Structure 1
Amino acid sequence: MKQVRNLLIAAVLPFSLLVSCGEPQKTQEQETDQAWKVADSIRTLIVEPNFAKKDFLITEYGAGSDSTVLSTQFINDAIEACHTDGGGRVVVPKGTFLTGAIHLKSNVNLHLEDGAKLLFSRNTEDYKPLVKSRWEGMECMNYSPLIYAYGQENIAITGKGILDGNANNEHWWPWKAKKVYGWSEGMDNQLAAVKKLTQQVKDGIPVEDRVYGDGHFLRPPFIQPYNSSNILIADVKIINAPFWNINPVLCENVTVRNVSVVTHGPNNDGCNPESSKNVLITGCYFDTGDDCIAIKSGRNEDGRSIGRPAENHIIENCEMKDGHGGIVIGSEISGGAKNIFAQNLKMDSPELDRILRIKTSSLRGGVIEDIYMRNVEVGTYKEAAVLVDMFYENPGDFMPTVRNITVENLNVKKGGKFGVLINAYEESPAENLKIINSNIDGVDVPIQANYTKNMVFDNVLINGKLVTDEDVQSTSEAEFEKF
């Protein structure tokens, strides 16, 4: 019973509470060791779903591999039959199958055999009826995600096949309103809809009245299980996404394993678990047009009112190439984040902007705490190895909190502009940031920070020089702005 009780405590409480319960003061190494024991406890709570050993071949329900003929109804018929019969695998055989929105149901594993491809339609009619979704952390009724599930359990997407979102500079991407993605003056875009939705969220308009879809140009996410549990996404390759790639929302017990995401469109984040609990991302490859992994918990009023933090995440054995950040927390983080563990990672690209990126603002609010990263090997990056940015978006009335961040065994061969970059509020400094046993070479500016509290560098070399207490003294806000 004692072991079970300890496991539950570790899963629920932030690590900072665990180490302040009357125990003697520990060394930094002992504290990090204890933190990673919390990660081990979290790992035991994340269990992959099992499925009945029955196969439902989509071709037996009418799907054909003529990539010009829609197979949407046949695939969803196979899913319904599998679900009704108690579950199993819905199998996509070798070949290319054109489809619109696929809706997963409980106890169904959508399995793509080697050589199979699901090619998603570019016709917005194929993503109707509209469904409840989150778009950049804001709830609305919008086009269905390409693969969607709502209120389901025991679901999976597996196999060695390819999921092709079929987006490019002529389809989906121009809606971003960026010329680099094929947009030009006078073309349809998302800007008016984003402004309208943001205002509706602020005004507390009911979700069912936030209706988008036709005429609004909000691109759907690729894979979005919503309010679901016991989820596995494994082995597939994902390319050419319209928007975010893997975006579990308000989910619990999620495993993303050995997935490859290669797509360089706008907002093509690799994996964005949002307001989700007990998440494992392992053995994955990310080469993206935005953040590789971005942990989120809702935007502004929607994040605060729902109040579901991102918690108990383990990220390990992954490789990151291009992207705005390798491991990112934010910016849609109004519900907070806690107990986030990342280890044994490889990152290397001149087009990778940051290694660990925390982005928030006083428009967002929320508490980001107990973040642990260790054993990260980096070839090169562009901007900062460790970035805390509390001014990512316009200011508001909800002061964010960032505290208890530990980075250990970070080794960078050729850094970018900054080693460590912190832009915080005087009234809410970045607190308890620790970098331990790390080596960062080739940066222009070793440390640039304004408001911090208890920032510690222990056995850290930057550009071959040991970082001292004098080096980590915070600069003033004025000095930061002038830099």
Structure 2
Amino acid sequence: MKQLHLFFVLVFATIASTSCVSPTVKSNDATGWDKVPEILKNISEPVFADAVYNILDYGATPSETIDSRPAILKAINECNRNGGGKVLIPAGTFFVKGPIVLKSHVNLHLEEQARLEFSTVPEDYLPMVLTKWEGTECFNYSPFIYSYQCTNVALTGKGTIDGNGAAVFNTWKALERPAMDRLRQMGNDTVPVYERTFGEGWYLRPCMIQFYGCNNVLVEGVQIYDSPFWIIHPVFCDNVIVRDVYIESFNYNNDGCDPESSTNVLIENAHFNVGDDGIAIKSGRDQDGWRIGQATESVIVRNCHFANWAITIGSEMSGGVRDIYIEDCKIDSCRNGIYFKSNLDRGGFFENLYMRRIHADICLWGMVNFRTDYHGYRGGNYPTLFRNITIEDVTCNRVDSVAIMANGVPEAKLHNITLRNIHVKQSPKATQMKNVVNLVLDNVTVNGKQVTSENE
């Protein structure tokens, strides 16, 4: 483990550490939405060799009880050794007793009517691997589909992935507090990562799909159900595409897609019906996020559909979040609409975020919500910097709390917030705003009445 940690340190040693409050402003001629074409130039699908490796040829058996994992891993290994290609999961149900580890230049492709059924036995996901758990690095149970430091890697097709997370892993939510507190304290104390060992007896649920330190990543077309924890989680990645996926999973903390400390990310035409945030953009938690200092930046989200939960920035965003573009999304009946969340432990920054053409039906907790007092606060005094955020062309039929909330703190007020052409048809309260500098409300209506800074 010490050798793995040293390798990890070398990989990220060149990443500049980010101040917990003041980001470094990048110079760039393009600003606002004009920057989107420039970002898209840096995002492209990975290219694979034409070779096909059918798992049936390696001993896989369509069965809900016979383990096909050894055959899948054999096919992946041979595909990788031979220079890459497609590892084919044909139609049928295949039981997988443990994690699938993807390698460079491999496209794991699920044909239509193919189904991967993952084991419900936690010990099957050992030995531990280097991972991130709610923004803090550690060694823990392996994600069900895991790729570490790979280039050109994909998960595609029209098949189904079932994590069976409700059977055992969802029950761990009630047992996780000792491990969660231990891990967060380790992060705060900058304990070496190789000493942060969890796994058996600690009840930290693994992610469903995690790409860790990878370049050129594609997740396309698959249907995903019943995850044990976060669902699609790119960490320290560059050039990531998540497209045309359908996710339905209602366990605790079932975030749909969490790009974390990653750059050049495109999420499009995806459907999220999940038990927590549909998309949550993150960059590490507290001191652990500052230590690494890698922001999430240059992210485009478009043409996505959200049910139950919607779009969130944070709360683990201590490395900073910048240059985020979200457009043409639909929100059904959800707890939140557009949600920024942080607290005085986080530090970091939100800057240069743009959203437009969002339509929501019902949002219980608000259509637009900037929250600087999110739960989990441990007594720090590191306010998050919010600046240069524009949200426009938003409609919502009903909010059951406060339609628009923008609450900064005196130590770090919200700066340069523009809300334009936002219309909430029905809400018991229009706005709640304080500690905002240069707030622009341009054609904002709630309950048919114009909202201005004077009547907030």
Band of TM-score, shorter chain: over 0.9
Among 326, 338, 342, the alignment partner of 1:356 is 338
Among 213, 225, 237, the alignment partner of 2:223 is 237
Residues 1:457 and 1:16: Cα distance change in structure 2 (over 3 Å): farther
**2:180 match: secondary structure:** helix
Separation in 1, partners of 2:337, 2:85 = 39
1:397 to 2:381 alignment: yes
1:306 to 2:304 alignment: no
Q: Match of 1:108? A: 106
- After TM superposition, give the deviation of residue 17 of structure 1 in Å: 6.3
**Does the 8 Å CA contact 1:105/1:149 hold for their aligned counterparts?**
yes
Q: 1:243-280, CA deviations, whole angstroms, 9 ceiling, x for partnerless residues?
A: 00000000000000000110000000000000000000
Separation in 2, partners of 1:217, 1:434 = 43
- After TM superposition, give the deviation of residue 18 of structure 1 in Å: 6.0
Q: 1:197-246, CA deviations, whole angstroms, 9 ceiling, x for partnerless residues?
A: 11111121111111111000111000100011100000001100000000
**1:436 match: secondary structure:** strand
**309-318 vs 123-132, which moves further:** 123-132
**2:65 match: secondary structure:** coil
Separation in 2, partners of 1:333, 1:379 = 28
Q: Match of 1:30? A: none
Q: 1:264-306, CA deviations, whole angstroms, 9 ceiling, x for partnerless residues?
A: 0000000000000000000000001000000000011110000
Among 332, 347, 351, the alignment partner of 1:369 is 351
- After TM superposition, give the deviation of residue 423 of structure 1 in Å: 2.6
Q: Give structure 1 stretches of 5+ with no counterpart.
A: 1-13, 22-32, 178-188, 473-483
Q: Which amino acid aligns with 1:380?
A: I
**2:86 match: secondary structure:** strand
Separation in 1, partners of 2:146, 2:31 = 38
Q: Match of 2:326? A: 342
**1:269 match: secondary structure:** coil
- After TM superposition, give the deviation of residue 444 of structure 1 in Å: 1.0
- After TM superposition, give the deviation of residue 451 of structure 1 in Å: 1.2
Q: Match of 1:138? A: 136
Among 169, 172, 176, the alignment partner of 1:172 is 169
Scaled by the length of structure 2, the TM-score of the pair is 0.92
**1:380 match: secondary structure:** strand
After superposition, residues 143-162 of structure 1 pair within 5 angstroms as 143-162=141-160
Q: Match of 1:122? A: 120
Q: Match of 2:13? A: none
Q: Which amino acid aligns with 2:114?
A: A
1:412 to 2:409 alignment: no
Separation in 1, partners of 2:453, 2:189 = 47
- After TM superposition, give the deviation of residue 34 of structure 1 in Å: 4.7
Separation in 1, partners of 2:75, 2:176 = 34
**Does the 8 Å CA contact 1:175/1:219 hold for their aligned counterparts?**
yes
Separation in 2, partners of 1:147, 1:356 = 29
**Does the 8 Å CA contact 1:223/1:247 hold for their aligned counterparts?**
yes
Residues 1:41 and 1:171: Cα distance change in structure 2 (over 3 Å): same
Separation in 1, partners of 2:257, 2:50 = 29
**Does the 8 Å CA contact 1:295/1:310 hold for their aligned counterparts?**
yes
Q: Match of 1:477? A: none
- After TM superposition, give the deviation of residue 415 of structure 1 in Å: 2.4
Q: Which amino acid aligns with 2:189?
A: D
1:249 to 2:231 alignment: no
Q: Match of 2:5? A: none
Among 191, 194, 205, the alignment partner of 2:191 is 205
Separation in 2, partners of 1:322, 1:445 = 22
* Structure having the larger proportion of residues in strand: 2
- After TM superposition, give the deviation of residue 469 of structure 1 in Å: 3.7
Q: Which amino acid aligns with 1:209?
A: E
Residues 1:88 and 1:346: Cα distance change in structure 2 (over 3 Å): same
Among 64, 68, 78, the alignment partner of 1:81 is 78
Residues 1:275 and 1:34: Cα distance change in structure 2 (over 3 Å): closer
Percent identity over paired residues: 41
Q: Which amino acid aligns with 1:234?
A: E
Separation in 2, partners of 1:389, 1:281 = 24
Separation in 1, partners of 2:349, 2:435 = 17
Scaled by the length of structure 1, the TM-score of the pair is 0.87
Residues 1:306 and 1:15: Cα distance change in structure 2 (over 3 Å): closer
Q: Give structure 2 stretches of 5+ with no counterpart.
A: 1-22
Residues 1:247 and 1:210: Cα distance change in structure 2 (over 3 Å): same
**2:337 match: secondary structure:** strand
Structure 1 residue ranges (4+ consecutive) displaced by more than 3 angstroms after TM superposition: 14-19
Among 254, 258, 270, the alignment partner of 1:272 is 258
- After TM superposition, give the deviation of residue 44 of structure 1 in Å: 1.4
Among 35, 39, 58, the alignment partner of 1:61 is 58
Root-mean-square deviation over aligned CA pairs: 1.5
Q: Match of 2:445? A: 461
- After TM superposition, give the deviation of residue 15 of structure 1 in Å: 12
Q: Give the paired residue count.
A: 431
**Does the 8 Å CA contact 1:15/1:370 hold for their aligned counterparts?**
no
**329-338 vs 125-134, which moves further:** 125-134
Separation in 2, partners of 1:15, 1:40 = 23
**462-471 vs 101-110, which moves further:** 462-471
